[in-house]
A and B are shown apart, each in its own frame.
Chain A
Amino acid sequence: MNISLNITKTITELLSGFMPESAANIGAMVTIALIYLAIFAVAGLYLVLLERKVAAWFQLRLGPNRVGPWGLLQTMADALKLVSKELTGTVKADKFLYNLAPYFVIVSSLMALSVFPFTQEFQAFDINIGLFFLIAISSIGVIGILLGGWASNNKFALIGAMRSGVQTISYELSVGLSLLTMVLLTGTLQLSEIIEVQKNGWLIVQGHIPAVIAFMIYMIAGTAETNRAPFDMVEAESELGAGFHTEYSGMKFAYFFLAEFINMFIIAAIATTVFFGGWLSPFGITESIPWLGVFWFIGKTFMLVFLMMWFRWTFPRLRVDQLLTLEWKYLLPLNLLNIVLMALIVWLGFTIQL
């Protein structure tokens, strides 16, 4: 395997200073896995806190403010509580699949996290099919939800799981096609090269009208793919209890919960990389300090995460038929037209290069 692993190379060189080569390889892999697990856990917990703070702000409340300064340790305390809770289960559930389901969801979102270039150097897996790999991985997560819903042996959970399957399969199409529109501009699927291309202006500027349309379609479909409001029929509280995770408790519930928030982060991070220049600073103002890239990346991503939370508290929940009409009758034809428009613009050279 000769895949360029940016941080892997650095850590391997560091470790091989005092270890034999094979041990250094394995050591580097373990180190990187631990780093990404830590990012995963911390980002997930603080996204939950951010959601609660944003919700409170929209509803003119204060939000969590007791545990730690400004409630900053609230979600840490929640996680500790969830770890200590009993893991319940139904008697007639299929135990093996019931226990397996959360891991599908969490492993698929963890794998997706590994390909993002947080800065020029900080990227674990710079694969040459980056975007396509992300789409491929995101299609695995839904299996966990379907399994969890079926294996709990609960009608609400099963209905929630089926709704989730329908929704994810439909909206995956729009996510893929809107990203394909942008690939027409970049000419590559590798995430680091996509960012290289954007040194002449972010893609949303380069592609102007079709890029903006693609961004809007991507955000709608991305919100639907993470099963968040206004597309949260999967766990519509007033109809289904808690949807597919009705029967889960303790840490297994927390896995579903964390994975949902990390998926939101992933959707926002893809949008950052493809539309808003990833770690590039606006107008190259911090070009001389490369490590500042991580702040730009995280900053842009959190702006988009905030946008998704804003959706949640602005729009009412859709019905199932409205959801499918939106995808198949409006977004998909629009998306196909948009691809043709983008192809014309790239062909005739009407892109804006700064």
Chain B
Amino acid sequence: MEQIIFYILALIMIVFAIASVTSKKMLRSVIYLLFTLCGIAGIYFLIDYNFLAAIQLTVYAGGIIVLIIFSVVLVHHIEMELTLAKRSKQILTGLACLIGLGIFLTTIYGHQFNVVENSVTTTTEDIGYGLLSYETGGFILPFEVISVLLLASMIGAIVIAKGKKLTDKNDTTL
């Protein structure tokens, strides 16, 4: 049963990943990418990483894809199509992809994977304690560093979005 679901999800991911890079319409390839990301979330659900699956759905499907859709919708007209790249570029990209795939596959097949007998669902409580513990195996330092990084990027976004001070008196009505 789980095997069948895994193969269905894998097929969805591979087919839509290929469709995403070959589609000539921009918004369609974004949607194909969304299906690929949902497939990954499905794999996480299958192996009982519920928290990670929900994160995948919120951050990638709900956040990043919506942002990409926004930017595509703003700049792209419905009748426009992407142009094909030059033949030499196509061959070069194909070769690069093949090399990457080859390295990836040899690593996967060369590695000895341990089969876990009984799967245990990681609860959010465990994740919370893990993030905030300062003993060995705790993640308090990376957690704090990421918080500082997020704060810095938020402030940066506000500074960029605000731009120059409005000097024109007429604009202050906003």
Contact = CB atoms under 8 A, between A and B. Distances in A.
Contacts of B27: 94, 97, 147, 150-151
B62 interface: yes
B31 A136 contact: no
Q: Which of B51, B78, B123 has the most CB of A within 10 A?
A: B78
B73 A146 contact: yes
Cβ-closest 10 pairs across A and B? A139-B62, A136-B57, A136-B58, A136-B54, A153-B78, A129-B50, A132-B54, A150-B73, A146-B69, A133-B54
A92 interface: yes
Interface of A: 1-3, 22, 25, 92-94, 96-97, 100, 127-129, 132-133, 135-137, 139-140, 142-143, 146-147, 150-151, 153, 158, 161-162, 165, 169, 187-189
Contact of A2 (B45, B65, B66, B121): B121
Contacts of A94: 25, 27-28, 78
Interface residues of B, number: 31
Contact of A97 (B31, B57, B61, B65): B31
B13 interface: no
Contacts of B34: 143
14 contacts: A2-B121, A3-B48, A94-B78, A97-B31, A127-B50, A128-B50, A129-B54, A136-B54, A136-B55, A143-B61, A146-B69, A146-B73, A153-B78, A158-B73
Contacts of B50: 127-129, 133
Given A97-B31, A162-B73, A169 B66 contact: yes
A1 B79 contact: no
A132 B124 contact: yes
B48 A2 contact: yes
Interface in B115-130: 119, 121, 123-125
Given A128-B121, A189-B124, A147 B31 contact: yes
Given A146-B66, A162-B73, 9 more contacts: A1-B45, A92-B79, A94-B78, A97-B27, A128-B50, A132-B51, A135-B58, A165-B66, A188-B124
A165 B2 contact: no
A135 B58 CA distance: 8
Interface in B99-126: 119, 121, 123-125
Nearest to A154: B78
Nearest to A150: B73
Interface of B: 1-2, 25, 27-28, 31, 34, 45-46, 48, 50-51, 54-55, 57-58, 61-63, 65-66, 69-70, 73, 78-79, 119, 121, 123-125
A97 B23 CA distance: 13
Contacts of B66: 139, 142-143, 146, 165, 169
A1 B46 contact: yes
Main secondary structure of the interface of A (DSSP, over half): helix
Given A150-B78, A189-B124, A165 B70 contact: yes
Contacts, number: 88
B126 to A, nearest CB: 10
Nearest to B77: A153
B73 A22 contact: no
A140 B119 contact: no
A129 B73 contact: no
A158 B73 CA distance: 9
Nearest to B57: A136
Contacts of A189: 124
A140 B123 CA distance: 24
Q: Which of A133, A136, A146 has the most CB of B within 10 A?
A: A136
A165 B69 CA distance: 10
A140 B69 contact: no
A235 B65 CA distance: 23
Contacts of B62: 136, 139-140, 142
Contacts of B25: 94
Nearest to A168: B66
A151 B121 CA distance: 41
Given A129-B54, A153-B78, A143 B124 contact: no
Contact of B51 (A1, A129, A151): A129
A346 to B, nearest CB: 15
B82 to A, nearest CB: 14
Contacts of A140: 57, 61-62
A189 B124 CA distance: 8
A132 B55 CA distance: 9
Q: Which of A1, A100, A142, A153 has the most CB of B within 10 A?
A: A1
Contacts of A143: 34, 61, 65-66, 69
Given A1-B2, A97-B27, A147 B125 contact: no
A322 B28 CA distance: 34
B64 to A, nearest CB: 11
Contacts of A153: 78
Nearest to B46: A1
